[in-house]
Amino acid sequence: MTRPALPRDRWIPWVFVGGMLLVVAVNLVLVFFAVTTFTGVTVGHAYDRGRTYNDVLDAASRQEALGWRGDVQLRGASLVVTVKDRTGSTVSGRLEGRLLRPLEGTTLLLDFAATATGTFRADTGARAPGQWDAVLRFVGPDGQTLDIRQRMILP
């Protein structure tokens, strides 16, 4: 003979149902924040760029073999860049680039003018204070390139 369920036993299944609803609610909150916040990806097509990382290493070794170095300085409202070779002599060529503000995605294109052999100046104009990345490309007399990246904190 089976005993009828006592009234105090009827809440036990609802504890399991409530626990599962709590888990679903917490997961929905986590999914919402995962979809609506920063993705962590700073470049487009990150997977494809990752697959071609050996090309990036080859380019870096070619630049290292050139022996060129770029010195980037902020002087007032201007960005001054000097490119020197292994012996410390300046290298002639042309320079192009931009300032990037990584957190906001702001881009300031820079118009460089040669002030001397291997020395270039660009007006940065009105810019917000804080962290900026100078992303520059120097093209030498024979078409060799030097990629220059420097992070700066602007006042």
The CATH code of the domain at 55-154 is 2.60.40.3340
Q: What is each CA distance from 30 to 3, 16, 113, 119, 120, in whole angstroms?
A: 45, 21, 50, 51, 49
Q: pLDDT tens digits, residue range 103-113?
A: 777 888 999 99
| The pLDDT value given to residue 1 | 57
Residue type for position 153? I
Phi and psi torsions of 110, nearest 5°:
-110, 135
Q: What percent of the chain has pLDDT over 70?
A: 94
Domain ranges of the chain: 10-34, 55-154
Average pLDDT of 104-132?
86
